[in-house]
């Protein structure tokens, strides 16, 4: 496996945040330290994380948030609650070496949604962002719309060493009246980014996570005139902002323009 130097908060990308409010809020002692610790443990423990470059791992596994959702220490809870799903994949070291990123994602996405509350599964409920979209609120209420559900899945993947980030569009076909949508991009075993949806927000079929055409939003009609983005914590001067459909005047979240990526990807569908 790739060896990593133990980073501090700045080297892992925590010197730049979606909002200036992050800076004085005690993140270094409250959230960053357990986040870094568990992220580094995952890198050493899970063979499917061995191919991930350091810069991608630090930002998209080590990140404690996706966009401007409330900051809370979700990672230890996710680790402890979802460990039973992951444990069979690593119980045999020989077999674990052949487990792919996609197999881990499928196991989590198919089986995680009732682990936090045995009485009911987390389910999709439209129109909840920004009312309910941080992970702890979603676990408390038991539902969220596409943004919140995507964030929960992203957090689960990051917990177990898989780079993931929020992606979406603020307006289908460039028209706000057509609505918006959010989904997940994950860094696959082929060292490329791929799209997917959480089980509660989709038909739940993810047999082939390399097939973008299974997702309802990936087709020629949807991408026509639509601008797409993915979110990141790292800030650079030559990048776009990630447009927040629920907070359109907020340009503080850094983003990557994924319009051409989605056009190329979905033109085959």
In whole angstroms, give the CA distance from residue 38 to residue 212.
31
Query: In the structure, what pLDDT confidence band is assigned to residue 32 with cuts at 50, 70 and 90?
Result: confident
Closest CA to 64 of 232, 242, 244, 247: 232
Q: Which two tokens stand for residue 21?
A: 């409010």
Q: Which two tokens stand for residue 144?
A: 């969220």
Alpha carbon separation from 112 to 81, 155, 186, 197 (Å, rounded) = 9, 12, 17, 14
pLDDT of residue 86: 97
Strand partners, 239: none
Alpha carbon separation from 45 to 53, 97, 140 (Å, rounded) = 16, 11, 30
Would you list the domain boundaries of the chain? Answer: 10-266
Strand partners, 182: 168
**E strands within 147-260?**
164-169, 181-187, 193-196, 229-232, 240-241, 254-257
pLDDT of residue 12: 44
Contact criterion met (CB below 8 Å) for 242 and 19: no
Q: Which two tokens stand for residue 177?
A: 């009246």
Least confident of 4-13, 40-49, 87-96: 4-13
Question: Distance of alpha carbon 26 from its chain centroid, rounded?
Answer: 23
Neighbouring CB atoms inside 10 A of 85's CB total: 18
Neighbouring CB atoms inside 10 A of 136's CB total: 15
Judge if pTM exceeds 0.85.
Answer: yes
Mean pLDDT of 225-252: 88
In whole angstroms, give the CA distance from residue 21 to residue 24.
6
Order of strands across the sheet that contains 254-257:
193-196, 181-187, 164-169, 229-232, 254-257, 240-241
pLDDT exceeding 90 applies to what percent of the chain? 78
pLDDT of residue 204: 61
pLDDT of residue 17: 42
Contact criterion met (CB below 8 Å) for 109 and 199: yes
pLDDT of residue 161: 98
Query: Sign of the C-alpha dihedral, residues 227, 231, 232, 236?
Result: positive
What is the tens place of the pLDDT at every residue in 38-54? 999 999 999 999 999 99
Q: Which residue has the tokens 């706000």?
A: 176
User: Is the model's pLDDT at 266 over the cut of 60?
Assistant: yes
In whole angstroms, give the CA distance from residue 54 to residue 173.
36
Instruction: Tell how strand 229-232 and strand 164-169 pair up.
Output: antiparallel
pLDDT of residue 206: 75
pLDDT of residue 22: 60
């Amino acid at each position: 496996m790739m060896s990593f130097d133990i980073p501090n908060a700045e080297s892992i990308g925590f010197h730049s945040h979606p909002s200036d409010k992050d800076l004085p809020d005690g993140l270094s002692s409250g959230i960053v330290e357990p986040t870094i610790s568990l992220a580094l443990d995952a890198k050493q423990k899970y063979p499917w994380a061995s191919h991930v470059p350091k810069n991608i791992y630090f930002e998209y596994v080590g990140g404690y948030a996706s966009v401007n959702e409330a900051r809370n220490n979700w990672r230890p809870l996710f680790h402890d609650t979802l460990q039973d799903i992951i444990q069979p994949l690593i119980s045999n070291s020989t077999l674990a070496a052949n487990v792919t990123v996609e197999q881990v994602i499928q196991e989590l996405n198919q089986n995680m949604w009732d682990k936090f509350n045995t009485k009911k599964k987390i389910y999709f409920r439209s129109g909840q962002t920004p009312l309910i979209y941080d992970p702890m609120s979603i676990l408390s209420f038991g539902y969220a719309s596409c943004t919140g559900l995507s964030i929960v899945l992203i957090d689960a993947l990051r917990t177990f060493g898989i780079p993931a980030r929020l992606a979406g569009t603020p307006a289908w076909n460039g028209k706000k009246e057509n609505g918006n949508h959010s989904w997940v991009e994950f860094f696959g075993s082929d060292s490329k980014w791929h799209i997917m949806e959480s089980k509660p927000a989709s038909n739940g079929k993810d047999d082939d996570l390399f097939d973008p055409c299974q997702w309802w939003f990936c087709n020629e009609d949807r991408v026509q005139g639509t601008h797409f983005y993915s979110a990141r914590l790292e800030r650079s001067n030559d990048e776009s902002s990630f447009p927040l459909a629920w907070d359109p005047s907020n340009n503080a979240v850094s983003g990557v323009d994924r319009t051409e990526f989605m056009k190329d990807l979905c033109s085959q569908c």
